[in-house]
Structure 1
Amino acid sequence: MKMTKLSAAIVLSLGIVPSVSLAQQAEQAAKDVERIEITGSHIKGVDLEGSQSLTVISAEDIKKSGATTVFELMSTLTQIRGGEGSFSTSQSGATSTSTPAGQAAASLRGLGPASTLTLINGRRIAASSFASGTQNFVDINSIPLAAIERVEVLANGASATYGADAVAGVINYILKKDYQGAALNAVYGNSTASSDEGSLSLNFIWGDKVAGGNLMLFADYYDRNAFRATDRAYTRDPVLQSSYSYLSKTPNIYYYSARGGNEIASPDCATPLVTTEYGEQICAYYGNQDDWLETPLQSQSAGFTYNKQFGDLVWKTDFFLSRNKSTSYSTPAPINQIDDSEGPFANESALDIYPDGIRDELLDNLYLDPFDTPAGRTLYGFQFDARFSTPRTIEIQTDALRLVSGLSGALDDWDWESAVTLSKSESDQVAVGGVYNRYKYHAAIAGELCSDGNIANYDSDTDSLSCSGGSLLGMYNPFLMGDADNESILATAQEMPTRTGQSTVYGWDLRFTGDLMNFNDDIIRSAFGMEVRREEITDVPSLNAQARFDNAYLVDVMGFGSSLSEADRTQWGAFAELYVPLTAQLEMQLAGRYDRYSDFGGTFNPKVAISYRPHEDLVLRASWATSFRAPSLTQAGVKLRTTTASFDCSANQAVADLYCEGYGDLRGNNVLELGNPNLQAEESESVSVGFGYSPTANTSITLDYWRFDHEKLVDTDMTAMLDRAITDASVRHCGLVPDGEIGISYDPDMCDVTDSQGLTLEDQGANLSEILDAWVDYADPRYAELDLYRDHVLVLDNTGTQTVSGVDLRFDHRQQFASGTLSIKLDATHYISFERNKPGSDAIEELAGSWRYPQNIATASVFWDESNWYAGLTAYYASAYQDDIDRLRGRELDELDAIGALDGEGQREVAAWTTVRASLGYFFDKASINLTIDNLFDREPPLAYGSARGFDSINHNAYGTTYKVSVSYQF
Structure 2
Amino acid sequence: MTLFKPNTIALALASLCCTNLTFAAEQDTQPVEKITVTGSQIKGVDLEGMQPMVVISSQDIKDSGASTISELMSQITQTRGGEGSFTTSESGATSTSTPAGQAAASLRGLGPSSTLTLINGRRVAASSFASGTQNFVDVNSIPLAAIERIEVLATGASAIYGADAVAGVINYILKTDYQGAEVNLSYGNSFAGSDEGRYNLNAVWGTELLGGRLTLFGDYYDRNSFDAQDRDFTRNPALVSNYSYLPKNTPNIYYYSAVSGDEIGAPNCATELVTTEYGEQICAYYSNQDDELISELESASTGFIFTKDIGEITWNTDFFYSRTKSVAVSSPAPINDIDDGEGPWVDESALDAFDEQTRNDLLDQMYIDPFPELTQAGQQLYGFRFDARFASPRTVEVETNAFRLVSSLEGQIKGWDWQSGITLSQSKSEQQAIAGIYNRYKYHAALAGELCSDGTIASFDGNDLSCASGDLVAMYNPFLTGDSSNDSVLAMTQEQPTRDGKSTVYAWDASISGELFELGDNYVMAAFGTEIRKEEITDVPSENSRARAEDEYLVDVFGFGSSLSEAKRQQFAAFAEFHIPLTDRLEMQVAGRYDNYDDFGDTFNPKIGFSYRPVDSLVLRGSWSTSFRAPSLTQAGVKLRTTTATYDCGANQAVADLYCSGESFESSPNVLELGNKNLRAEESESLSFGLAFSPTQDTNLTLDYWQFEHDDLVDTDMTAVLDAAITDHTLRHCGIVPEGQMGISYVEDLCLVTDNSGLTIEQAGANLTEILDAWVDFDNPRDAELPLYRDHIIQLQNTGKQTVRGIDLAMSHDFEFELGRLSLSLDATHYLEFERNKPGSDEVEELIGTWRYPQNIANFRVGWVQQDFYASLTAQYTDSYADDISGLRGRNIDELEDLGELDANGERDVDSWTTVRANLGYDFDNMNINLTINNLFNEKPSVAYGSRRGFDSINHNALGANYKVSFSYFF
Q: The TM-score by the shorter chain falls in which range?
A: over 0.9
Q: Distance in 2 between matches of 1:813 and 1:33?
A: 29
Query: What residue is the counterpart of 1:181 in the other structure?
Result: 180
Query: What residue is the counterpart of 1:367 in the other structure?
Result: 367
Q: Say yes or no: does 1:467 pair with 2:462.
A: no
Contact 2:343 2:387 in 1 (8 A): yes
Q: Distance in 2 between matches of 1:431 and 1:408?
A: 47
Contact 1:13 1:812 in 2 (8 A): no
Q: Distance in 2 between matches of 1:27 and 1:954?
A: 49
Query: What residue is the counterpart of 2:19 in the other structure?
Result: none
Q: Alpha-carbon deviations, 1:916-969, whole Å to 9, x = none?
A: 000000111111100000000111100001000000000101011000000000
- Equivalent position amino acid for 1:433 in 2: A
Q: Alpha-carbon deviations, 1:29-74, whole Å to 9, x = none?
A: x999962111000111112121110000000100101110000010
1:729–1:892: structure 2 CA closer, same or farther, 3 Å change rule? same
Superposed counterparts of 1:711-726, under 5 Å: 711-726=711-726
Query: What residue is the counterpart of 1:288 in the other structure?
Result: 288
Distance apart, 1:699 and its partner CA: 1.2
Q: Distance in 2 between matches of 1:826 and 1:862?
A: 9
Superposed counterparts of 1:475-486, under 5 Å: 475-486=475-486
Query: What residue is the counterpart of 1:20 in the other structure?
Result: none
1:113–1:604: structure 2 CA closer, same or farther, 3 Å change rule? same
Distance apart, 1:481 and its partner CA: 1.4
Query: What residue is the counterpart of 1:595 in the other structure?
Result: 595
Query: What residue is the counterpart of 2:507 in the other structure?
Result: 507
Superposed counterparts of 1:315-394, under 5 Å: 315-371=315-371, 372-394=374-396
Query: What residue is the counterpart of 1:438 in the other structure?
Result: 440
Q: Alpha-carbon deviations, 1:421-444, whole Å to 9, x = none?
A: 000000001111000000000001
Query: What residue is the counterpart of 1:547 in the other structure?
Result: 547
Q: Distance in 2 between matches of 1:519 and 1:686?
A: 29
Q: Say yes or no: does 1:923 pair with 2:923.
A: yes
Query: What residue is the counterpart of 1:65 in the other structure?
Result: 64
Task: Among all aligned residue pairs of Structure 1 and Structure 2, give the percentage whose two residues are the same amino acid.
Answer: 66
1:13–1:300: structure 2 CA closer, same or farther, 3 Å change rule? farther
Contact 1:645 1:671 in 2 (8 A): yes
- Equivalent position amino acid for 2:192 in 1: A
Contact 1:218 1:302 in 2 (8 A): yes
Contact 1:572 1:595 in 2 (8 A): yes
Query: What residue is the counterpart of 1:88 in the other structure?
Result: 87
Q: Distance in 2 between matches of 1:103 and 1:31?
A: 45
Contact 2:509 2:532 in 1 (8 A): yes
Distance apart, 1:754 and its partner CA: 0.5
Query: What residue is the counterpart of 2:934 in the other structure?
Result: 934
Contact 2:9 2:693 in 1 (8 A): no
TM-score for both structures, normalised by structure 1: 0.97
Distance apart, 1:866 and its partner CA: 2.4
Query: What residue is the counterpart of 2:18 in the other structure?
Result: none
Query: What residue is the counterpart of 1:190 in the other structure?
Result: 189
Query: What residue is the counterpart of 2:879 in the other structure?
Result: 879
Distance apart, 1:520 and its partner CA: 2.3
Query: What residue is the counterpart of 2:758 in the other structure?
Result: 758
Q: Alpha-carbon deviations, 1:426-484, whole Å to 9, x = none?
A: 00011110000000000011111111111111111xx1111112211100000111211
1:206–1:786: structure 2 CA closer, same or farther, 3 Å change rule? same
Contact 1:33 1:46 in 2 (8 A): no
Query: What residue is the counterpart of 1:408 in the other structure?
Result: 410
Q: Distance in 1 between matches of 2:260 and 2:116?
A: 58
Q: Distance in 1 between matches of 2:287 and 2:648?
A: 22
Q: Distance in 1 between matches of 2:109 and 2:561?
A: 26
Q: Distance in 2 between matches of 1:925 and 1:487?
A: 62
1:661–1:380: structure 2 CA closer, same or farther, 3 Å change rule? same
Q: Distance in 2 between matches of 1:952 and 1:766?
A: 42
Structure 2 SS opposite 1:96: coil
**Structure 1, unaligned runs of 5 or more:** 1-5, 17-22
Contact 2:875 2:915 in 1 (8 A): yes
Structure 1 SS opposite 2:711: strand
Q: Distance in 2 between matches of 1:157 and 1:716?
A: 25
Superposed counterparts of 1:557-706, under 5 Å: 557-706=557-706
Q: Alpha-carbon deviations, 1:158-211, whole Å to 9, x = none?
A: 000000000000000000000011100011000000000001000111010001
1:140–1:863: structure 2 CA closer, same or farther, 3 Å change rule? same
Contact 2:10 2:617 in 1 (8 A): no
Distance apart, 1:819 and its partner CA: 3.0
Structure 2 SS opposite 1:436: coil
Query: What residue is the counterpart of 1:3 in the other structure?
Result: none
1:447–1:921: structure 2 CA closer, same or farther, 3 Å change rule? same
Q: Alpha-carbon deviations, 1:551-607, whole Å to 9, x = none?
A: 000000011111100000000100100000111111110000000001011000000
- Equivalent position amino acid for 1:150 in 2: R
Structure 1 SS opposite 2:829: strand
Query: What residue is the counterpart of 2:961 in the other structure?
Result: 961
1:140–1:508: structure 2 CA closer, same or farther, 3 Å change rule? same
TM-score for both structures, normalised by structure 2: 0.97
Structure 2 SS opposite 1:50: helix
Q: Distance in 1 between matches of 2:895 and 2:345?
A: 33
- Equivalent position amino acid for 1:199 in 2: R
Q: Distance in 1 between matches of 2:815 and 2:146?
A: 31
Query: What residue is the counterpart of 2:429 in the other structure?
Result: 427
- Equivalent position amino acid for 1:209 in 2: E
Structure 2 SS opposite 1:387: coil
Q: Distance in 2 between matches of 1:418 and 1:862?
A: 44
- Equivalent position amino acid for 2:103 in 1: A
1:547–1:33: structure 2 CA closer, same or farther, 3 Å change rule? farther
Q: Say yes or no: does 1:10 pair with 2:9.
A: yes
Query: What residue is the counterpart of 1:773 in the other structure?
Result: 773
Structure 2 SS opposite 1:777: helix
Q: Distance in 2 between matches of 1:695 and 1:129?
A: 49
Moved more, 304-313 or 468-477: 468-477
Q: Distance in 2 between matches of 1:318 and 1:563?
A: 33
Distance apart, 1:624 and its partner CA: 0.3
1:754–1:269: structure 2 CA closer, same or farther, 3 Å change rule? same
Query: What residue is the counterpart of 1:19 in the other structure?
Result: none
Q: Distance in 2 between matches of 1:89 and 1:76?
A: 16
Distance apart, 1:10 and its partner CA: 1.7
Structure 1 SS opposite 2:381: strand
1:11–1:554: structure 2 CA closer, same or farther, 3 Å change rule? farther
Structure 2 SS opposite 1:126: coil
Q: Distance in 2 between matches of 1:881 and 1:928?
A: 41
Distance apart, 1:9 and its partner CA: 3.3
- Equivalent position amino acid for 1:673 in 2: E
- Equivalent position amino acid for 1:116 in 2: T
Q: Distance in 2 between matches of 1:804 and 1:621?
A: 20
Query: What residue is the counterpart of 2:737 in the other structure?
Result: 737
Contact 2:100 2:328 in 1 (8 A): yes
Q: Alpha-carbon deviations, 1:770-799, whole Å to 9, x = none?
A: 000000010011110000000000111000
Query: What residue is the counterpart of 1:36 in the other structure?
Result: 35
Q: Distance in 1 between matches of 2:659 and 2:10?
A: 57
Distance apart, 1:867 and its partner CA: 2.5
Q: Distance in 2 between matches of 1:362 and 1:32?
A: 91
Distance apart, 1:11 and its partner CA: 6.8
Moved more, 30-39 or 793-802: 30-39
Contact 1:34 1:44 in 2 (8 A): no
Structure 2 SS opposite 1:79: helix
Moved more, 577-586 or 499-508: 577-586
Distance apart, 1:93 and its partner CA: 1.4
Q: Alpha-carbon deviations, 1:273-330, whole Å to 9, x = none?
A: 0000111000000001100000110000000000000110000000010000000000
1:210–1:746: structure 2 CA closer, same or farther, 3 Å change rule? same
How big is the alpha-carbon RMSD for the aligned residues of Structure 1 and Structure 2?
Answer: 1.6
- Equivalent position amino acid for 1:424 in 2: Q
Contact 1:94 1:561 in 2 (8 A): no
Contact 2:10 2:700 in 1 (8 A): no
1:481–1:611: structure 2 CA closer, same or farther, 3 Å change rule? same
Distance apart, 1:12 and its partner CA: 6.4
Q: Distance in 1 between matches of 2:482 and 2:845?
A: 50
Contact 1:8 1:697 in 2 (8 A): no
Contact 2:12 2:46 in 1 (8 A): no
Distance apart, 1:97 and its partner CA: 2.3
- Equivalent position amino acid for 2:863 in 1: F
